[in-house]
Amino acid sequence: MNLYKSKGLTEIINASGRMTALGVSTPRAATLEAMASAGQNFVILHELMDYADQEISKFTGAEASCPTACASAGIAISVAATIAKENLLQIETLPQVLDGFKNEIILQKGHAVNFGAPIETMIRVGGGKPVLAGQANKVHKEHVIAAINERTAALFYVKSHHCVQKGMLSVEEMAEIAHNHQLPLIVDAAAEESLSKYGEAGADMVIYSGSKAIEGPTSGFITGKKEWIQACHLQYLGIGRAMKIGKENIMGLLTALADYKEERTAEEIETMKAWAERLAIELNALPGFTASVVQDEAGRAIFRTAAKVDSAVVGMTAADLVARMKEADPAVYIREHYVNTGVLTFDLRSVQETDLVKITAVIIGCLER
């Protein structure tokens, strides 16, 4: 029996993909077993941190890596590292900045997004002062260069579907500007699949979430150049302590990384398509529904079921139906990106096979209500 349900909490069928508000991902059995075993024994924490540093770096190809509680903590810690570096007094005083230390963090205006909390807030937690360059939908190199001054500590790039996707400078362009001014570039790649791409593009530190693409426990890491990662580790003597990662989560993260594949196998893709097709056939049998399999808008190898709802036939709008589905038992959460155009999108990557068959039944129940 689902532990949450046994405590009176809502049982969820997650057809939305990965959503922090639903608990992000469900780690594999091997990850959970490693966490249980790690929790039952003591370890010298700095030995574990050094071991994790080396292990994570094997997967990212970077010089060094620093485990964090989550990607948000990774933002705060990497920013703190560019301000305090290895200076103990400044490390212990952050997020207050001592005289003579630089703390301006430049990011493109179209990257100042909210991923559930504002990027800018996480920068401030690390003692940084966000400085936005350019306009929300257009940034020229000149905008970023003009924002650099003697108080600048780093440039910051956000790689995410939340960001404005056009008119922004690339990672390579931001890296070039940063390095021409002897500044580091931090890349927030929290939910990205490639663990090596952004370091190769010139980033000095790259931040990942352990629970998104990697499907590990609540965790994260910063990976990149040794001099900066060393400074990241030292921030645990200051602000990092308020966001420490436990030994179990470090071992869970490493186990999830060992199982993680950046690219899905042909077989996995075929299964994903077959499931999406199965759901489309079921939904097409409902009056007012026209369903088909669609590929991810960004061209990733993700296949979903898209169902257009004719509100005149169905007797309610797609948005009303979605609201009812969230109140059902079990509650079905879907991807809501196109609900305003009458389209329900089902991302089945986090759905168990035993739950797949329940989705159509829940929808029929909502229509009859």
Ligand X SMILES: *Cc1c(COP(=O)(O)O)cnc(C)c1O
Interface pattern 59-88 for ligand X (x via CB under 6 A): -----------xxx----------------
Structure tokens at 275: 């499931």
Residue closer to ligand X, measured from CB, 20 or 135? 20
Three-state SS sequence of 193-221: CCCCHHHHCCCCEEEEECCCCCCCCCCEE
- Please state, in angstroms and rounded to a whole number, the distance separating the CA atoms of residues 305 and 338: 12
Q: Minimum CB separation from ligand X for residue 271, in Å? A: 26
Q: Minimum CB separation from ligand X for residue 155, in Å? A: 16
Residues 126-165 that bind ligand X (CB under 6 A): 158, 160, 162
Residue closer to ligand X, measured from CB, 52 or 190? 190
Report the C-alpha dihedral over residues 113, 116, 120, 125, rounded to 10 degrees.
-170
Candidates 10, 19, 20, 48; binder of ligand X (CB under 6 A) is 20
- Please state, in angstroms and rounded to a whole number, the distance separating the CA atoms of residues 361 and 292: 18
CB-CB contact of 168 with 120 (8 Å): no
CB-CB contact of 147 with 156 (8 Å): no
Candidates 60, 90, 209, 345; binder of ligand X (CB under 6 A) is 209
Structure tokens at 107: 């990011």
Q: Minimum CB separation from ligand X for residue 171, in Å? A: 14
Q: Minimum CB separation from ligand X for residue 344, in Å? A: 23
**Is residue 115 close enough to count as binding ligand X by CB under 6 A?**
yes
Residue closer to ligand X, measured from CB, 220 or 238? 220
Candidates 130, 220, 224, 238; binder of ligand X (CB under 6 A) is 220
- Within a 10 A sphere around the Cβ of 308, how many other Cβ atoms? 16
- Please state, in angstroms and rounded to a whole number, the distance separating the CA atoms of residues 164 and 367: 37
Interface pattern 303-342 for ligand X (x via CB under 6 A): ----------------------------------------
CA angle 299, 302, 303 (to 5 degrees): 110
Evaluated on CA atoms 51, 55, 60, 61, the torsion sign reads positive
Q: Minimum CB separation from ligand X for residue 157, in Å? A: 10
103-138: b (≥16 Cβ within 10 Å) or e:
bbbbbbbbbbbebeeebbebbbbbbbbbbbbbeeee
Q: Minimum CB separation from ligand X for residue 309, in Å? A: 29
Q: How many residues bind ligand X (CB under 6 A)?
A: 13
Q: Minimum CB separation from ligand X for residue 162, in Å? A: 6
Which stretch in 99-107, 187-195, 246-254, 274-282 sits in contact with ligand X by CB under 6 A?
Answer: 187-195
Residue closer to ligand X, measured from CB, 20 or 290? 20
| Residues within the interface to ligand X (CB under 6 A) | 20, 70-72, 115, 158, 160, 162, 188, 190-191, 209, 220
